[in-house]
Structure 1
Amino acid sequence: MKKIVLMMAATAMLLLAGCSNNGNADTQESAAAKNKSEVTIQDANGKITVPKTPKKVVVFDNSALDTMNSLGVGDTVVGAATDNLPDFLRDYKKVESAGGIKEPDLEKINALKPDLIIISGRQRDFQKDLEKIAPTIFFSTDNSNTWGSIQQQVTAIAKIFDKEEKAKEKINSLQKEIEATKKKAATSGKALVLLANEGNISAYGKGSRFGIVHDTFGFKEADDKIKASTHGQNVSYEYVLEKDPAIIFVVDRTKAIGGDDSQNNVAENELVKQTDAGKTQKVISLDPSVWYLAGSGLESVKIMLENVNRAF
């Protein structure tokens, strides 16, 4: 009898141990599954852990939308600032409007129940409110290292959607095009980038929102004293004539967001016509919907390269 009791006790202990081991295994399996469903990336605020391969994404950053589209994951987008999309992303006008580009519709976004939200500087003031709805990534291009910053953003998006190899191929392809452009730009003369806005003009140099022209595409500056600024340095047409650039690149802000653009024809200005750029018909209009509303995505950079290559 005593032997039977001892055998029963031993069996019970083995069963308990097995259950305990299975419990630990289940816990470890659950933890591993959770780790696989999340990924840590770098955004403008630092490191952030977000869902991996999210199924529903609200995107306010047009450059991020551009990259997602290029990587073939645009079908995950359930909401965007549809009234302010670049022309080449117009197909996304069919998704739900998530509000204006500067004022997200929090109620609408909450109803969409996204797994992830991606914003840019224009929505920064709403980040804390958006984080209450879903993990929120904030992307901002570093104008002191434009191409490096763009690559970091593309890589982060690719990591989230498990598209790293595809992103690497596209980055390498763009790198080759950039190098080819830089070789031509090195001997093309000095360039000036202007933003036209309802008759007014601003100049942009290195370290500015359009600094990619100089620091990545390799065009020499017509004025290396321009103060780096998001809004540029207000200038006159007399200033443009004084600098006498060989190439003038123009971004028409009014065409990008609407308004009176009747006075924005920089090439027709009498003083501009007297510059080297005016005489050689190298006043180049850049696609405003790309340069002003996007500019840091895979397709954006390709279009921007095509734009500046019209100077050669």
Structure 2
Amino acid sequence: MSALSRRTLLGATSAAAFLAALPFARTALAAAVAATAPKNPLRVVCIDYATLDMMRLWGLEDRIAGSAALTSVPFLAPLPAGLPVTGGLKDAPLEKIAALKPDLIVITGRLARLEKEIGAIAPVLLITPDQQNGALASYGTNLLTVASLFGKADAANALIDEAKKRVAAIRERAAGKSAAVLMANEGRIGMLAPQGRCSMISAEMGFANVVPPRKGPGPKKGGPKPDAEAIAKANRKTLEDLKRLNPEYVFVLNKDIAVGRTPVTDYRAIFGAEWDALPAVKAGRATELSHAAWYLGEGGPTAMNLMLADIEKAVGIR
């Protein structure tokens, strides 16, 4: 048996085992639900796209008292007419939120630093994906967490089962295949490690990330931005690494597009003909991801559908 066929067989076997092992996500519910979250809340402020997505899908729009703006999240737009907007995912205008008289406020990790202040207005539920310990399991836990408040456990379980089956099918196709995941951000183009952003592509979908796992803490946020020379040097290194590592698949996440920022990093223009000459690109195996879904909306069912569809298309399932 060839090495490739052995890998493919192992991938199919591991996909079945993977599918069977995932129900542990459901047992994590008790730990994930905030103890103070009220059951059956009638006025929910969603500063979290995933919860907004769930509530709309489950016919609970009339309970949404306010929402973060959907400026760069086209797959959830438009908001219901007249619905108050609180700002962005990182914004917490306390007076504006208090004026909405919520009985529950749902936030993401981007506002965790203000959880105490927001909690003085109403109970707070923190919903955030856990990339390092399993984005798919985290998706299930978060679905069930929100569903438990509204008696929607059956609907949540159906979504979890569908996602698990689709991921298992991707795993079979991805067995033995290498991949690079790029992120473009303000002129910089880098390769992402298996942990963190887009970790589902390797950890759950089964691609072998050509970048080794990161050791130690990740890069610190908020430091000084590199100058043009440093950016050009780093981008050149990314291109040389791509040529050297020669991944069979390339996935591109553009943060600029995801957050609605201009100018948008054009990696094709930066890399030029050398990008087009990469074997994965020449073979049609370079895929632009649904940027806002992967960067901002992950954790919601509509975003998950887009994320899975991106990879299904890349491996020829659809």
1:300 aligns with 2:299: no
| Matches of 1:42 and 1:118, distance apart in 2 | 16
Seen in structure 2, the aligned counterparts of structure 1 residues 154 and 262 have a Cα distance that, compared at 3 Å, is closer
Of the two, which has the highest radius of gyration? 1
State the partner residue of 1:177: 166
| Matches of 1:207 and 1:287, distance apart in 2 | 19
**AA in 2 matched with 1:255:** I
* Partner secondary structure for residue 142 of structure 1: coil
CA contact (8 A) 1:250 1:266 kept: no
Seen in structure 2, the aligned counterparts of structure 1 residues 196 and 249 have a Cα distance that, compared at 3 Å, is same
* Partner secondary structure for residue 88 of structure 1: coil
State the partner residue of 2:283: 280
Q: Which has the higher contact order (CA 8 A, sep 6+)?
A: 2
The 5 Å alignment of 1:55-204 reads: 55-84=42-71, 86-92=73-79, 94=81, 95-143=83-131, 144-187=133-176, 189-204=177-192
CA contact (8 A) 1:82 1:96 kept: no
| Matches of 1:223 and 1:93, distance apart in 2 | 43
| Matches of 1:122 and 1:230, distance apart in 2 | 17
CA contact (8 A) 1:141 1:150 kept: yes
Give the alignment's Cα RMSD to 1 decimal: 2.3
Give the deviation of 1:240 after TM superposition: 1.7
Seen in structure 2, the aligned counterparts of structure 1 residues 65 and 267 have a Cα distance that, compared at 3 Å, is farther
Does 68-77 or 158-167 show the bigger shift?
68-77
Q: How many pairs does the alignment contain?
A: 269
The 5 Å alignment of 1:168-247 reads: 168-187=157-176, 189-226=177-214, 229=218, 236-247=238-249
Does 191-200 or 130-139 show the bigger shift?
191-200
Provide TM-score, normalisation by structure 2: 0.78
Give the deviation of 1:247 after TM superposition: 0.7
Post-superposition Cα deviations, 1:259-283, rounded to whole Å, max 9, x if no partner, equal 1115333796333323221221211
Give the deviation of 1:41 after TM superposition: 5.0
CA contact (8 A) 2:70 2:79 kept: no
Identity among equivalent positions (%) equals 28
* Residue ranges of structure 2 left out of the alignment (5+ in a row): 1-28, 222-233
CA contact (8 A) 1:141 1:149 kept: yes
Give the deviation of 1:231 after TM superposition: 8.0
